[in-house]
Amino acid sequence: MTYVCRIPSIVRGVMSIKEMDFVKPVTPWTSGLKQVLKSNGCKPTTYINSCHTNNFIEFLQCLRKEEVLCDIKLKTDDGVIVCAHKVVLVSACPYFRTMFTKFAEADKYVVNIRDIDSNILQLLIDYIYTFKIMVTEENVMGLLSAAIFLQLDYVKGVCVKFLQKQLNTSNCLDIKEFAEFYNCTELLSSSEEYIKTHFLKFVETEEFLSLSCQEVINLISRDDINVPFEEKIFECVINWAKHELACRNDSLPNLMEHVRLSLAPPEYLSKNVVDEPLFKNNIKCKDFVIEALNFHIVKKHRHFNMPRSVRYSPRQTGIKFLLAMLSRCGNCYTSWYDPTTKLLHKIKKLKMGYEVCALALIKNHLVFALSCQDMNLRSVKMLDLCSRSLQWKPNVDMLVDRGSFGVGVIDDRIYAVGGDNDLTELNTAEVFDVSVKEWQLISSMCTERMGPGVGVIDNLLYAVGGYNNGCALKTVECYDPSLDKWTPVAQMSTSRRHHGIGILDGVMYAIGGDCQEHANSVYLKSVEAYTPIANAWSPIADMHLSRYDPSVVTFNGLLYVMGGSDGSSRLASLEIYDPNTNTWTLEQLPTSGDDIHGAVVIDMPSNLRSY
């Protein structure tokens, strides 16, 4: 028996009929094939023709552009008409789904769309048909407000991400107000976070001076604004009041109630606050000053209970860097650096008379400085950030003389790896357990390594590269503390020694260094990344400068690479790597000719600033 099947096809909009003959598909041969396939255990398989999907989308958009089969016209306030197909709008947009299924517009051919710019509406209808949207500085605000109105969550999301990247001190307030008006919580949170993080820069802008009294109070009353000194809060309040003194003078008591004057040093209070002209005839403000002075008097007598008030409570000042730096005169100073304000503060009271090889942070408040001074290659000192009296104190010496060694931390244990002793490369390593205050040797590495990089991922310690027998190394080995065993892993693509190691989101970065071979040194700006799951290294973007012996820390999802040498001079700069864009940003460091020899990220203690 023969069947005739007639297949319709559309060719440029013209319908035609093509007849084709098919034989009834039942024969002993086909029946046998089914048995063969069944015996092979073939599983059902779904195939997706992506070309068909793309062609389908393009075809729908062409129909709309040519107004073929369109059954709805969207009319904007300026009279522009945008044609579309109801079924497409309903399928992709909740707003139109409700309009065309539950309201009178379902039977209309022309619908007015109020308060949306015609260009913006055209972009969003194009998006519904193509799933593509271009966001620019000029259209982002219009797109975001319209996307919120039309309930297009994807467009809303990309607009929010676009604006988050554009945040700066001159626009953060406008973006915050825009987010509040449209109840865009994610963007509102980001803008508020930006303002509190960049507080010191924001208070210098005209935007800050334009705030209302209540808006200033909402800002300065926060515990988590990023401000290193309470004096900055006091100064910004005075500047705000003086900007329009005639109408703001009466607001001073309300503002000063949220300034924690007790956190400012007595010397500052006496010099800058007591004789402030704006307080001359303001009894309430004078009371706040007297309260702060009395607090410092009471503070000297520990047997007195401290008053319980928010005005005596230190702010959560955010994260800072603690840096160890070697000056040209041979003294190693402790400094702290704020990556938000880009300010570096040298603490002369916390200096050491020798060079520091590395810093290690334990329990978030114990900072260990492992030295490589000429007289004692085992020396270790510790700084307790929770101590009332901050100072570096001698700690337990290492077991082995080491210079140019690597340092890593696992479970509050400090590992010192490799190095050299009288120009002899070492393969030994040792660990310090802070709970028992004791160093112990661990298994030796497979290779002697001077100047290795050391990183920690998932409680495994990696010794990366280094120098041995006249040449820089590519090799890498991994130490498992639970097995006390070193195991070789994938080699780097480039030999490196005295390079930096950074860990970010489970990826280890080998940064800069040099690839010395016998007497020849080549200083590197290249960087490569190691992924443990793949056990493979891959190159990323080069830094702007070659960096030998840089310090590396991770902060806010970014890598900070500081200092180092380019082969001819020490570098007073840092570079910041963003893994999302694979780009480096170069910034200057006000180091006054000092060399950076170590860095750790800490919670800034309030007592550190008084040093």
pLDDT at residue 33 greater than cutoff 70: no
Q: What is the DSSP letter of 262?
A: G
Q: Which residues contact 485 (CB under 8 A, 6 or more apart)?
A: 443, 479
Q: Which of 32-46, 290-304, 311-325, 534-548 has the highest mean pLDDT?
A: 534-548
Q: What is the pLDDT of residues 337-393, one digit of tens each?
A: 777 667 777 777 777 766 777 899 998 889 998 875 656 778 899 988 877 778 888
Q: What pLDDT score was predicted for residue 160? A: 94
Q: What is the pLDDT of residues 282-295, one digit of tens each?
A: 999 999 999 999 88
The model's confidence at residue 38, banded by pLDDT at 50, 70 and 90, is low
> Pick from 492, 448, 497, 453: which is nearest to 474 by CA?
492
Q: Which residues contact 270 (CB under 8 A, 6 or more apart)?
A: none
pLDDT at residue 153 greater than cutoff 60: yes
Least confident window among 296-305, 366-375, 441-450, 500-509: 296-305
460-474 average pLDDT score: 94
Task: Please provide residue 506's backbone torsions phi and psi, each rounded to the nearest 5 degrees.
Answer: 75, 10
3-state secondary structure 305-361: CCCCCHHHCCCCCCEEEEEEEECCCCCEEEEEEECCCCEEEEEEEEEECCCEEEEEE
pLDDT at residue 10 greater than cutoff 50: no
Q: What pLDDT score was predicted for residue 433? A: 94
Which sign does the torsion angle of CA 482, 485, 487, 492 carry? positive
pLDDT at residue 74 greater than cutoff 50: yes
3-class DSSP state of 575? strand
Q: What pLDDT score was predicted for residue 516? A: 76
Half-sphere exposure of 420 (CA within 13 A, CB side): 17
pLDDT at residue 193 greater than cutoff 50: yes
- What DSSP element (H or E) covers 208? helix 206-209
Task: Please provide residue 544's backbone torsions phi and psi, each rounded to the nearest 5 degrees.
Answer: -70, -35
Q: What pLDDT score was predicted for residue 68? A: 84
Q: What is the DSSP letter of 607?
A: G
- The 10 Å Cβ neighbour count of residue 298 is 15
The model's confidence at residue 419, banded by pLDDT at 50, 70 and 90, is very high
Which sign does the torsion angle of CA 139, 140, 143, 145 carry? negative
Q: What is the pLDDT of residues 199-236, one digit of tens each?
A: 888 999 999 999 999 999 999 998 888 787 789 999 99
Q: Which amino acid is at 119?
A: N
Q: Which residues contact 409 (CB under 8 A, 6 or more apart)?
A: 360, 361, 362, 415, 456
Q: Measured between alpha carbons, how far apart are the two ends of the chain, in Å?
A: 101
The model's confidence at residue 22, banded by pLDDT at 50, 70 and 90, is very low
Mean pLDDT, rounded, of the chain: 85
3-state secondary structure 3-47: EEEEEEEEECCEEEEEEEEEECCCCHHHHHHHHHHHHCCCCCCCC
Q: What pLDDT score was predicted for residue 501? A: 97
Six-digit token pair at 104? 């009178």
Q: What is the pLDDT of residues 580-606, one digit of tens each?
A: 899 999 998 876 667 788 889 887 665
Q: What pLDDT score was predicted for residue 313? A: 76
pTM over 0.85: no
Q: Percentage of residues in the chain with pLDDT exceeding 90?
A: 51
CA 318 to chain centre: 14
Q: What is the rounded CA–CA span in Å between residue 417 and residue 404?
A: 9
